[in-house]
Chain A
Amino acid sequence: QKEVEQDPGPLSVPEGAIVSLNCTYSNSAFQYFMWYRQYSRKGPELLMYTYSSGNKEDGRFTAQVDKSSKYISLFIRDSQPSDSATYLCAINSGAGSYQLTFGKGTKLSVIP
């Protein structure tokens, strides 16, 4: 079992829809949870960062962590064509480690 599992999609939604992107992880030591957005032929850019369990909101984006289920989610409200990209979850164990473990990424297309 990989440490981080993410459905690669692709996921196609109409403009204005609510999008739900998810990852599961296996190591309960993970404490820091991130979502990166990667446009085609570009490097990943940090979108959201969450420590431990709970929700974090930033504009149209909400990151949610459920450590009891080892499940993390990213919700996008009122999705826009400019949100079309690959979304990568990334996890860090903390405890002195800098390293990130990435999911495969989910490719999202928002259709006008």
Chain B
Amino acid sequence: EAEVAQSPRYKITEKSQAVAFWCDPISGHATLYWYRQILGQGPELLVQFQDESVVDDSQLPKDRFSAERLKGVDSTLKIQPAELGDSAMYLCASSFGVAGGEDTQYFGPGTRLTVL
């Protein structure tokens, strides 16, 4: 069964350092999402891509976060510099991109970031 791949699974870094997360969506999925999930909370959308284009990055803290999906396939999320409050699970999800709600999002295992 096809899955969304993410790496690394765990990342520990010191504040002010740069970190990067990678996501490989399910083959054929045009839409890719990055979510942040703080412990005890539901996932919150950071950025949404349709193919290589950003559809929504209104919740992405652009002073320190950046995301790209250059060839419309895999994607990278970067944080520079990392802050203590960035400690969270970063989830990637993908879907075919059918508008109207009938579009199942499949999640990867996530990257758990700890900022010291």
Listed in ascending order, the chain A residues whose CB lies under 8 Å from chain B are 4, 6, 8, 31-32, 36, 41-46, 49, 51, 88, 90, 92-100, 102-105
Contacts and interface: CB of A to CB of B under 8 A. Distances in A.
Contacts of A51: 101-102
Contacts of A103: 42
Contacts, number: 65
A52 B91 CA distance: 27
Nearest to B6: A43
B106 A95 contact: no
Interface string B39-64: 01111110010000001100000000
Q: Which 10 A-B pairs have the closest CB atoms?
A: A102-B42, A32-B101, A43-B107, A94-B101, A92-B101, A96-B99, A44-B107, A43-B110, A94-B100, A43-B109
Contacts of B109: 41-43
